[in-house]
Amino acid sequence: MLIPVVRMHPVRSAFLLCAGMLASLLAVAEPARPNIVLILADDVALMDFSAYGGEAHTPNIDALAEQGVLFANFHTTPMCAPSRAMLLTGMDNHLTGVATIPEVLPPEHRGQPGYSMYLEPGVETIAARLQPLGYRTLMTGKWHLGHGPGQLPNHHGFERSFVLDASGADNWEQRPYLPFYRTAPWFEDGEPATLPEDFYSSAFIVDQMLEYIEDLQPAQQPFLAYLAFQAVHIPVQAPREFSDNYRGVYDDGWQALRTARWQRARDRGLVPPDAPLAAMHPALADWDGLDATERQLFSRRMEVNAGMIEAMDHHIGRLIAYLRERDLYDNTLFVVTSDNGPEAADPADSALMRLWLQLVGYDATSIDTLGEAGSYGFIGPAWASAAASPSDLFKFYSGQGGLRVPLIISGPGIVPNSLQPAFSVAADIAPTLLELVQQPVAEVMTGRSLLPLLRGETGRVYPPDAAVGIETAGNAALFRGDYKLVRNLAPWGDGEWKLYHLATDPGETRDLARAEPALLAQMQQEYADYARRVGVLDMPPGYESLQQLQANSLRVMAANYWLFLLGCITVLLLLSVILWRILKSIKTRRT
């Protein structure tokens, strides 16, 4: 059979040839989409990284800051899971289903819209949005957005994941850190997982990510790598070789640290030169009133805290070195931030926590082993207040110390070595990543792209009249231009609305509520509009987050340790009977 030859007109042939060559040239000219490395620290204060003036040595994070943009006015919510939901979705936390954290959820809010404590149906993460574009999506570290059916990362756009679905856990072994949890729930690709014997959280989170990236080689597609570290969440733990680098650094106490960080913040342009520093809360202990042993213990706690930050940076350096070796670094975008400000919780203040720590064998007071396996480290409210400098308050609260955290973005096309003072929030990260890969921002996102700031094209992305609300567990804030409306509940707040001019008073030292009643009323109305729009629920009368945590933990503890508690009750009853008989015998002899 003869196959007919189709002869094409010379002009048409030449046109198609030119079109093909042009298409090939455009394909070659089109820049490859960047890899994205999203690094989330836990409870890291604005000035904890040395790039911001902190004491911890973080040379790898500092190098990223020198190559990119260091944000001075970035805000999250004051709690971990709501901030993570905003970061991953670009939406206000109430619209995602993660209005607060399950540990402090009051019974009245359970099951209400926005309070499911997991990403609700239809809520898409940045991973889910990048997957259709050819991205390989990977995650290691803390998830804390639910582990029921359909709630883990493998159902939210992550191709590979090894995650902890809890607010925290031990850094040396697979064990819970609160009586609210029976276990430390780790999962790989949606299935329960067991940690290796040589586990240390920061090392493992990077090791596992390197394994996932290596499995993609040779890289034909871009990847999203989300590393959510446990540093420096309670229990604060670090290898001695890092913690010992800070011997004596904190021996002058928390007030000295708070003042020193405030001075460095002014020198670095993080606050105006004449910005006042708020006094530490009057309920906090006076360093000079401690005895020598107490000072030694408190100093060591901060040394371990700094050591844990340095250990995280060390392992981030291993990731960066790997990307350089594989020729992936130059086309990788890095985002480094924290989920909220420093943690102020002091387990020693709670009888329930003291009992539980003894029950499970945690040691919170041995100075020589603090930070190592079996120890239970924390910094407490006084150090948290110092770490939050130049801001006021800390995690759980909507003072700037709980909301204002570091943000560093570096990579291809970003102006290097620049300080960015523009206001921004956690929900802005996902829209920014979408625009960086030439994709439109989704309409459901409440955040705004920071790309114009990263390219030096504008001085702000929120106009002066834009009202931006934040709320978790009754602690609330509304930002508009240079002003902030804020309410903090007990025990560290009084529940009253206050008004501050952040441009001149970033430490929130001068309440303008009485001086500017019209502005106060206007911003209160704007907050009410925000709360109604996103579905904020009023807190029950007398609500305090720490009391609710204890109540919720007590129920779990009773279920998990009922046999032990029954034994304790039995022993107490027997002792009571014995004591009653002794007293009765004494009374009989006297008569």
The residues assigned a catalytic role are 80, 144
Please answer whether residues 235 and 168 qualify as being in contact, where contact means their C-beta atoms are separated by less than 8 angstroms: yes
User: What tokens does 412 get?
Assistant: 């291809």
**Closest CA relative to residue 340, chosen from 436, 404, 422:** 404
- Residue 121's alpha-carbon distances to 149, 513, 563, in angstroms, are 12, 40, 39
Quote the CA–CA distance of 507 and 275 in Å, as a whole number: 7
CA dihedral of residues 539, 545, 549, 555 (deg, nearest 10): -30
State the amino acid at position 242 in one-letter form. F
At residue 120, the 3 state secondary structure works out as: coil
At residue 586, the 3 state secondary structure works out as: helix
Quote the CA–CA distance of 271 and 286 in Å, as a whole number: 26
139 Cβ contact partners less than 8 Å away, ≥ 6 residues apart: 127, 153, 158, 160, 161, 162, 163, 225, 226, 227, 228
Burial class (CB in 10 A: 0-12, 13-18, 19+), 240: middle
From the CB of residue 374, how many other CB atoms can be counted at a distance below 10 Å? 15
